[in-house]
A and B are shown apart, each in its own frame.
Chain A
Amino acid sequence: MSDIKKIKDEFLLKLKENLDSNQVNQIKTDLFGKNGVISSKFKQLGKVAEQERKKFASDLNSVKDELQNLITSKINDIETKEINQKLEKEKIDITLPERPFVQGKIHPVSQVIDEISSIFSEIGFSVKEGPDIENEYNNFTALNTPDNHPARDMHDTFYLDEKKELLLRTHTSPVQIRTMLNDKPPFKIIAPGRTYRSDSDQTHTPMFHQVEGLHIDKDINMGHLKGCLNYFIKEFFEVDKIKMRFRPSHFPFTEPSAEVDIGYEIKDGKIVIGEGDKWLEILGCGMVHPNVLKNVKVNPDKFQGYAFGIGIDRLAMLKYGINDLRAFFDCDYRWLNHFGFDPIDVPTNYRGLSR
């Protein structure tokens, strides 16, 4: 009995000292190793007189438990301390910059083309394209603009041959002609793309972007045109209300023709679309001229409908507050970065066109 107590006292004293993990482990071995003090005692159990054996065992077990617990907690303490010391040493300045990353950008014109396509997709338009180089026929003549027509003066055309038969399209309208020649009505298309006019000043660039729209069916009238454009403008500018004005105008390839203005005001030096009493012209449209339909072998007595043309660059400027058209094509890294869109930011209907 006193033997066990002696062991207990002796080791409790040892364990009280300030020990490192090696020392504690040594004590553990001294107690519970193969030849440890406690292990040896257990081996003696058989030799203890029967009447004392029970008590001996019980005492021994309780000392064993007590010492073992103490050792375990001692080890835990030391480990915790060591980890804490290690962590303390590893501490870094977390405010240092992250590893470098690069962010690409989508040009505002491309983004706006995707927005436009997304809006018209909802109401059943498909996207068509046409070549940048056009012949004189598709760009003018088929569009009811014969060569003596003064309307041609409004298109400062780039030509590719001396006979002036090949040119860079001055508008996206020739896509109407190509689409209608290649297919049968009904037609419901939009055609975004590059267009060219020999014009360069503060508000004109020799290349710009348009989107053409064409909807031909049996009974499409100006009411549908108005509804379609009202829908588009509202969706595009992401406003609930839009002030829109249809004004009579003239384009050789539509009749009746209209120009569309939207209401705006200047608030804190910024343009606000949909309010105010100022008008801004944003597009031209009209009912496709029967001569155009005849030129593409569509019977104007059976089919009719509307067409429109919108300047994409201008839409982008209005929506995203860009002042200078020329900067669109200047390729200034700072500008591209500032006005560009993250490539993940794909315009969709369900989560809104823009963020």
Chain B
Amino acid sequence: MKITTNWLKEHLDTKLNENQIIKKLTDVGLEVEDVYSQPSELDNFIIAQILKAEKHPDADRLKVCDVDIGSDNPVKVVCGAPNAKEGLLTIYAPPGAVVPKSQIKLVASKIRGVMSYGMLCSEAELKLSNESNGIIELSSKKYEKKIGENYLPKNSVNVIDISITPNRADCLGVRGIARDLATAGSGTLKKLKTEKLIQKNKQKVSIKIIKEKNQGCNSFGSCLITGVKNTESPDWLKKKIMSLGQKPISAIVDITNYVMIDLNRPLHVYDVDKIDKGILVRNSKKGEKFKALDEKDYNLEDGMCVIADASGVLGLGGIIGGTRSGTELDTKNVLIESAYFNPRSIRKTAKILNIDTDAKFRFERGIDPLSIEQGLQRAAELIKKICGGEISKFDIKKIENIKKSFVKFDIQLFEKMTGFQIDQKEIIKILTNLGFGIKKQKKLLLLTVPTWRPDILQEIDIVEELVRIKGYDQIKMIEPEKVRNKDTLNKTQKLFHFLQRAIASKGYLEAITWSFTDSKVNKLFIENNKEIKIINPISADLNVLRSSIFSNLIININKNLFRGFKDLSIFEIGPTFSGSKPGEQQTIVSGLRTGKLSRQSWVEQGRLVDVFDVKRDVIQSLVEAGYNKDKLYIDDETPNYYHPGKSGRIFLNKSKEKVVAFFGDIHPTILKKLDIKVEALVGFEIFLDNIKQQKKSLKNQKTQYKYSDFQKSERDFAFVLDKNFKAQELIEIIRNVDKELIKSVKVFDVYEGENIDNSKKSIALNVTIQSLEKTLNEEDLNKINQLIISTVESKTDAKIRS
């Protein structure tokens, strides 16, 4: 909502200056978003005519125009607007002018090789409207003789742009804002001046509101004015309209806009001679069509509130009028409509048709139903004054009566909510000034809510009114107590934070990527999951919720490769989605590594990252998070986006309840499909929700501390066994030979090739043996050696390598 102080002062008697007013507005909840001086910016904008428009030699979409700006010689302007054509009257901005929208200062410059002096402007560029398709087209009748003059009168009034919250429909008019300021002690609200109108005749156009289900209009007021002469608005009105950055059109249109801004009372004016018989306010039928004032054709659905006549739809009630009955400069007889439309109905229709207008914006928030007459009165006064004519009596059709609403207010509630007091006298004063009717009822106040405040429904709304008028600075600060009765984080949250930092500490950079991704990439990682589409994605390449974090990580790895990086480690911790219902999501830590370790180091041989790097990252992180490495169980069943031979999955133990993690090389066909060129790409996924929480806290998990100072011995073994036999199993067999004596089993070599059968491999292990009770002698050691060999050979088809 835009206002100027001058306009505000028509309703408010105040001694405050503009800065004080601006502060007060914000203090009462009418947030001032911007203050700017609109017209002075427009001083340089000149009415001009295109004399010649030729295609730019080097650009299909640009035209080179010769423009008459009222000086001796036409100027050359390069223009991209599709509507730039010979003869068009438009607005020209010379070099040096500042474009209000972009705040860019124009300079004479070459555009694709052709010098351009200044610019031809669109309405959007001048902040006159949102219309940015093409340059302004001025009517030749009006402006032909004004070429070279300033389009807008010189003036330098500040426009105060206020962000009105959806509950404050009443402040979408200058008077409502003045009322709030007056209540907050910034002056007094002036009485509305009304002139006595001479209204001899009845309003002759027949108006009927059809009583039907979901009728969106419950009152329709109208006034017929005959014999008007629609003209350009007088200067005072033009200035007013333009001071808020709107475009003056004609007196009648400007008057309706003026009344809407002044009193928050949207009106509509029909050219009576274009109405076929009378007006019917009814629900639309599917298939009905009309052309609206925004020059667009709308196809209506069933049940939209339309203003119609015998030939069909004239307009959408409370949203937009139609071109068929619109007023023009030669209009003779006009009908002013001042109606009440149901917010819900307005909103529904506007949403389906995707229309936003000033009237719609106001009606959907709730217009004062008692302002119908006031609107007709004010508009009729002004039309009579500017355009002349005979004013009819007001005709107000209603299908239901306006219900007043009441709130019982217990004064105690104010202190209970805000922590401070105001006395009853002041409460009554504030509420009276806001327009409430007040009756005392013992300890309660029985309040009649002003009709312009549809947002006020219950006691708490009254608390808000009082505290915002009184000022939020009155609320006393109560220091918080430093007491903690509950844990801040639960076990899952602790694990989340722990793994996040554990992974990062392995050299990964944490990324945060969208929860949505490109369905094409997602398909590569979706496995058997459902694809979850977003109905209204922000762009075609972010159209599904991600099934795996890999999709986005891999896209971003690729971007970084393009930036010239080769060795990357990134990870993300966050959700992936398996269904479209709340809760059908998992928390996953997922990482990718590419390239080499120790690339180009003088001291260390560089090598490609491989599956055992990510295996270490995962296992070390799990161990750091408190899980026993010796219990982890690994097999090789993995999703098909991993290299089938170089990937694995991890369980917390042999019972294989839930997969805790996958790790491995990313499948080469994925790299091919995504056209990713890397020397190596390995990754992992840890499923947080599958990691069973330990029952005992870490401090209670520690076993009794036992150690041995007796001499320990190391023995090496090499077994030849089947190629497919898993090292994990071999280690376990050996460890189980004697859990007391065998302290550790390490694989120090794996060999396939010469001297060994094609179907076999050799695994060399180092076993550490130590007793808690004594130093083992040669005999003891031999015994355990033999036992290891015989156990392995009997439990597997392995043979000790001699």
Contacts and interface: CB of A to CB of B under 8 A. Distances in A.
Nearest to A207: B514
Contacts of B419: 221-224
A34 to B, nearest CB: 37
Contact of B458 (A100, A148, A290): A290
B467 A248 contact: yes
B509 A337 contact: yes
B42 to A, nearest CB: 26
A96 interface: yes
A231 B480 contact: yes
B11 interface: no
B568 A126 contact: no
Interface string B468-502: 10001101111111111111111001000100111
A226 B478 contact: yes
A299 to B, nearest CB: 14
B584 interface: yes
B512 A109 contact: yes
A290 B460 contact: yes
A128 to B, nearest CB: 9
B60 interface: no
B201 interface: no
Interface stretch (A52-60, A116-124, A266-274): A116-124
Nearest to A226: B477
B715 interface: no
Interface stretch (A8-16, A25-33, A255-263): A255-263
B236 interface: no
Given A222-B419, A249-B31, A148 B344 contact: yes
A93 to B, nearest CB: 10
B167 interface: yes
Contacts, number: 260
Interface stretch (B50-58, B573-581, B740-748): B573-581
Interface in A214-241: 219, 221-224, 226-228, 230-231
A287 interface: yes
Interface in B312-346: 343-344
Nearest to A113: B497
B227 interface: no
A207 B515 contact: yes
Interface stretch (B302-310, B557-565, B789-797): B557-565
Contacts of B511: 107, 331, 336
A45 interface: no
B29 A248 contact: yes
B488 A125 contact: yes
A132 interface: yes
A103 B569 CA distance: 10
B165 A249 contact: yes
B456 to A, nearest CB: 11
Contacts of B533: 160
B580 A133 contact: yes
B645 to A, nearest CB: 27
Contact of A258 (B472, B487, B536): B472
A106 B166 contact: no
Contact of B515 (A99, A132, A154): A132
B598 A100 contact: yes
Nearest to B468: A248
A5 to B, nearest CB: 56
A214 to B, nearest CB: 13
A212 interface: no
Given A104-B508, A247-B26, A331-B560, A259 B31 contact: yes
A333 B538 contact: no
A352 interface: no
Contacts of A104: 503-510, 569
Given A100-B598, A104-B569, A304 B574 contact: no
B714 interface: no
Given A105-B504, A166-B581, A223 B602 contact: no
A71 B490 CA distance: 74
A71 to B, nearest CB: 40
A160 B535 CA distance: 5
Q: Which of B348, B488, B533 has the most CB of A within 10 A?
A: B488
B671 interface: no
A168 interface: yes
A295 interface: no
A196 B515 contact: yes
A129 B493 contact: yes
Contacts of B425: none
B137 to A, nearest CB: 29
Given A103-B507, A222-B419, A248 B472 contact: yes
Interface residues of B, number: 99
Given A158-B537, A222-B419, A121 B484 contact: yes
A200 interface: yes
Contacts of A337: 509
Given A133-B585, A290-B460, A333 B570 contact: yes
Nearest to B508: A104
A99 B575 contact: no
Contacts of B514: 206-207, 329
B782 to A, nearest CB: 42
Interface string A76-112: 0000000000000000000011111111111101100
B167 to A, nearest CB: 5
A224 B560 contact: no
Contacts of B168: 250
Contact of B29 (A97, A231, A250, A289): A250
A185 interface: no
A344 B487 contact: no
A117 B488 contact: yes
B510 A168 contact: no
Contacts of A159: 534-536
B352 interface: no
Contacts of A64: none
Given A151-B166, A329-B514, A333-B568, A224 B503 contact: no
Which among A228, A256, A257, A346 has the highest number of chain B CB atoms within 10 Å?
Answer: A256
B510 A123 contact: no
Nearest to A290: B460
A309 B420 CA distance: 24
B8 interface: no
B603 A99 contact: yes
Contacts of A123: 480-484
B510 A105 contact: yes
Nearest to A279: B26
Interface string B607-645: 000000000000000000000000000000000000000
Contacts of A98: 603
A340 B460 contact: no
B800 to A, nearest CB: 38
Given A96-B602, A138-B582, A194-B575, 14 more contacts: A104-B503, A104-B508, A107-B512, A126-B486, A131-B583, A133-B585, A158-B516, A158-B534, A206-B538, A221-B417, A231-B480, A255-B460, A304-B417, A333-B563
Q: Which are the 10 A-B pairs with shortest beta-carbon distances? A: A248-B29, A102-B507, A250-B165, A223-B419, A331-B556, A248-B468, A104-B504, A343-B504, A121-B488, A246-B472
Interface of B: 26-29, 31, 165-168, 343-344, 347-348, 364-365, 416-420, 458, 460-461, 463-464, 467-468, 472-473, 475-490, 493, 497, 500-516, 532-539, 542, 545, 552, 556, 559-560, 563, 565, 568-570, 573-575, 577, 580-585, 597-598, 601-604
Interface of A: 96-107, 109-110, 114, 117, 120-127, 129, 131-135, 138, 148-151, 153-154, 158-162, 164, 166, 168, 188, 194, 196, 198-200, 206-207, 219, 221-224, 226-228, 230-231, 245-250, 255-259, 287, 289-290, 304, 328-329, 331-334, 336-337, 340, 343-344, 346
20 contacts: A96-B602, A97-B602, A99-B598, A105-B509, A110-B510, A126-B487, A159-B535, A160-B533, A160-B534, A199-B538, A207-B514, A222-B417, A223-B420, A223-B478, A246-B473, A287-B417, A290-B460, A329-B513, A337-B509, A346-B501
